[in-house]
């Protein structure tokens, strides 16, 4: 089970005063009644729930700055939230914290084709960025499967990826600048429309910082011209191993498809029953490969993928003949997480990334762990990046199942680290994986990361209880002594 920082009783007792102060700042955007607050009690990691102290929905950057400055003065914790689609519990509220919802800040501020960028507020959804520029032939490349709901602020905080990140990169490769409000209410501008920047690369630090360093109130995003040709292939295999080997061989052959996605038999059947994308019913595994570029390059890559896949035992290879067919194939992949609701009411989505050559062995091991824990696990993932998403389905209401699912998930992530991979490819650490950070980072690594956090948020008020396994107050970092079981500086708030 996850642990959140103990609520501050002083803050809890002052709830009515804090609500009044927040109404003075955001008159039309404070939610305080318990019934409505319940709607905000979890993100997409629904196994963990906590009603926030209050929910505040600012409409502009001045209001964000005023809320944060007030919270810093009054020692109140803040949890930023976009659309609440985090799969790692990054936007899970705190009982004594203000949930700062950025969804009202949803304007596209500037579309600049000359500089190939778009400037947006943080509550703009990922899909709206492409929608705003597609008539001119442009698009925004990072495309999480949650893209119709998730916000750019959340994408920046999680360094989100998606199906097309193999070739075009994650958010960090497509982010040119941000405006960031610090806990003090001060504003920073990092990067911008220009290329390059002086000073330390703080933009890269902020991207993926999971709401721990500041609140993103504006983002400048790189947009790309749609390639002239896109071809989508659906390749079936009669073994998971053959599909895994094909992924490794395609990349080793020097081909970088725009997307290279994997699904196993159980996932194929569940998705098929959910939205009928027409996947081969008898396949043990499928790959969806998408290649784009100029016609000659696409034709050549498609022929080589065909040759590699058939050489490694592909049983069927289809090329989508129309845009409608392509949309249909992708609709199944994008609906895969939601389709798991047909199997069980609850799901943990793991997010480890491994070196591609380890794919076949790791998939075999996950299957053995599934038997060992007696829990169903479906595999659907960004195979080209080695970014696994084992979906463990279970029912929280059955005694002990959540704990078993957590232990199963932890074993998968430890396995990813053991084969040379990492705990998270794109979903962030949040509350879900913070207990496993020690598997990947030394004490010195973690202390250094926490010191960076302190440089942005010295009081540890921004999204505490996420990412770091241990709560430290900034003043004690690097000299932590516990005497008679008592922590030093017990009166100070801890991150
Ligand atoms: C069905 C489904 C499919 C998904 N598919 C993908 C996928 O393909 N690829 C992928 O990468 N992810 C995927 N996700 C995960 C999720 O959608 C992403 O992590 C997304 O970026 C979260 O955005 P959000 O607006 O919902 O943020 P939230 O969930 O609200 O917040 C996520 C984190 O960002 C912080 N945050 C939010 N807004 C701000 C801000 N303005 N400033 C500072 N911090 C902020 C929060 O504190 C929290 O730590 C999927 C989720 C679901 C439910």
Best residue among 78, 82, 168, 169 to mutate for probing ligand 1's pocket (most ligand atoms within 8 Å of CB) is 82
Both tokens assigned to 112:
């600049």
Question: What mean pLDDT comes out for the span 160-183?
Answer: 96
Question: What mean pLDDT comes out for the span 228-250?
Answer: 94
> What pLDDT, on a 0 to 100 scale, did the predictor assign at position 32?
96
Both tokens assigned to 128:
């709206």
Least-confidence region, from 73-82, 358-367, 466-475, 486-495 = 486-495
| pTM for the model | 0.93
Q: Tokens 């922590």 appear where?
A: 487
**Parallel, antiparallel or unpaired: strands 215-222 and 229-237:** unpaired
CB of 211 within 6 A of ligand 1: the answer is yes
487 pLDDT more than 90: no
Residues 6+ apart with CB under 8 A from 166: 256, 257, 258, 259, 260, 382, 384, 385
Helices (H), 171-294: 171-174, 202-206, 240-252, 265-275
Least-confidence region, from 69-73, 92-96, 240-244 = 240-244
The rounded mean pLDDT for the chain is 94
**Parallel, antiparallel or unpaired: strands 54-56 and 97-101:** parallel
> What pLDDT, on a 0 to 100 scale, did the predictor assign at position 356?
86
The residue whose C-alpha atom lies closest to atom 8 belonging to ligand 1 is 144
For 294-353, the pLDDT digits (tens) are: 999 999 999 999 999 999 999 999 999 999 999 999 999 999 999 999 999 999 999 999
The residue whose C-alpha atom lies closest to atom 34 belonging to ligand 1 is 154
* Percentage with pLDDT > 90 across the chain: 89
For 415-427, the pLDDT digits (tens) are: 999 999 999 999 9
> What pLDDT, on a 0 to 100 scale, did the predictor assign at position 479?
52
For 358-399, the pLDDT digits (tens) are: 988 999 999 999 999 999 999 999 999 999 999 999 999 999
> What pLDDT, on a 0 to 100 scale, did the predictor assign at position 2?
78
User: Closest by alpha carbon to 17, among 64, 74, 91, 65?
Assistant: 74
Question: What mean pLDDT comes out for the span 176-192?
Answer: 97
CB of 165 within 6 A of ligand 1: the answer is no
How many CB atoms lie under 10 A from the CB of residue 198?
A: 4
494 pLDDT more than 80: no
For residue 495, what pLDDT band results from cuts at 50, 70 and 90? very low
Both tokens assigned to 268:
């194929």
> What pLDDT, on a 0 to 100 scale, did the predictor assign at position 54?
98
Q: For 157-256, where are the E strands, in sequence order?
A: 175-181, 187-191, 215-222, 224-225, 229-237
> CA angle, 312 as apex, 310 and 313 as ends, to 5°?
65
User: Measured between alpha carbons, how far is 353 from 365 in angstroms, rounded to an integer?
Assistant: 15
CB of 43 within 6 A of ligand 1: the answer is yes
For 438-462, the pLDDT digits (tens) are: 999 999 999 999 999 999 999 999 9
For residue 36, what pLDDT band results from cuts at 50, 70 and 90? very high
User: Measured between alpha carbons, how far is 188 from 169 in angstroms, rounded to an integer?
Assistant: 25
56 φ/ψ angles, rounded to the nearest 5 degrees = -120, 130
Q: Tokens 């926490």 appear where?
A: 450
The residue whose C-alpha atom lies closest to atom 5 belonging to ligand 1 is 145
């Amino acid at each position: 089970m996850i642990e959140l920082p103990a609520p501050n009783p002083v803050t809890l007792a002052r709830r009515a005063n804090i609500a009044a102060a927040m109404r003075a700042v955001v008159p039309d955007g404070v939610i305080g009644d318990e019934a409505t607050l319940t709607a905000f009690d979890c993100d997409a990691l629904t196994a963990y729930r906590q009603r926030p102290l209050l929910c505040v929905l600012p409409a502009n950057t001045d209001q964000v700055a005023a809320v944060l400055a007030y919270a810093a003065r009054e020692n109140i914790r803040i949890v930023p939230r976009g659309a609440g689609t985090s799969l790692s519990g990054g936007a899970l509220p705190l009982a004594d914290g203000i949930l700062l919802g950025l969804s009202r800040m949803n304007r596209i501020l500037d579309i600049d084709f000359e500089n190939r960028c778009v400037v947006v507020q943080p509550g703009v959804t990922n899909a709206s960025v492409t929608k705003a520029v597609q008539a001119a032939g442009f698009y925004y490349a990072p495309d999480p499967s949650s893209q119709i709901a998730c916000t750019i602020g959340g994408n920046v905080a999680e360094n989100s990826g998606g199906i097309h990140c193999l070739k075009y990169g994650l958010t960090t490769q497509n982010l040119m600048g941000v405006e960031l409000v610090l806990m003090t209410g001060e504003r920073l501008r990092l990067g911008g429309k220009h290329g390059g920047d002086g000073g330390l690369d703080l933009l890269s630090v902020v991207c993926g910082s999971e709401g721990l360093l500041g609140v993103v109130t504006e983002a400048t995003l790189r947009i790309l011209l749609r390639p002239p040709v896109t071809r989508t292939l659906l390749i079936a295999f009669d073994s998971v191993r053959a599909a895994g080997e094909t992924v490794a061989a395609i990349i080793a052959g020097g081909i970088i498809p725009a997307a290279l996605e994997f699904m196993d038999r159980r996932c194929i059947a569940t998705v098929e029953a959910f939205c009928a994308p027409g996947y081969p019913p008898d396949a043990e595994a499928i790959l969806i490969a998408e290649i784009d570029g100029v016609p000659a390059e696409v034709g050549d890559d498609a022929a080589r993928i065909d040759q590699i896949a058939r050489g490694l035992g592909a049983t069927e290879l289809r090329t989508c003949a129309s845009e409608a067919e392509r949309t249909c194939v992708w609709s199944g992949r994008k609906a895969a997480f939601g389709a798991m609701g047909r199997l069980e009411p609850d799901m943990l989505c793991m997010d480890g990334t491994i070196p591609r050559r380890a794919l076949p062995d790791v998939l075999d091991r996950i299957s053995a762990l599934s038997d060992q824990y007696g829990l169903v696990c479906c595999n659907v993932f960004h195979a080209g990046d080695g970014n696994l998403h084992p979906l463990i389905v279970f029912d929280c209401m059955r005694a002990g199942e959540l704990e078993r699912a957590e232990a199963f998930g932890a074993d998968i992530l430890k396995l990813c680290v053991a084969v040379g991979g990492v705990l998270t490819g794109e979903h962030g650490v949040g509350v879900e994986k913070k207990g496993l950070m020690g598997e990947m980072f030394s004490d010195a690594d973690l202390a250094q990361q926490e010191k960076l956090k302190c440089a942005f948020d010295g009081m540890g008020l921004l999204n505490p209880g996420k990412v770091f396994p241990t709560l430290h107050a900034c003043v004690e970092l690097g000299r932590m002594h516990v005497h008679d079981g008592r922590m030093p500086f017990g009166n100070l708030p801890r991150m």
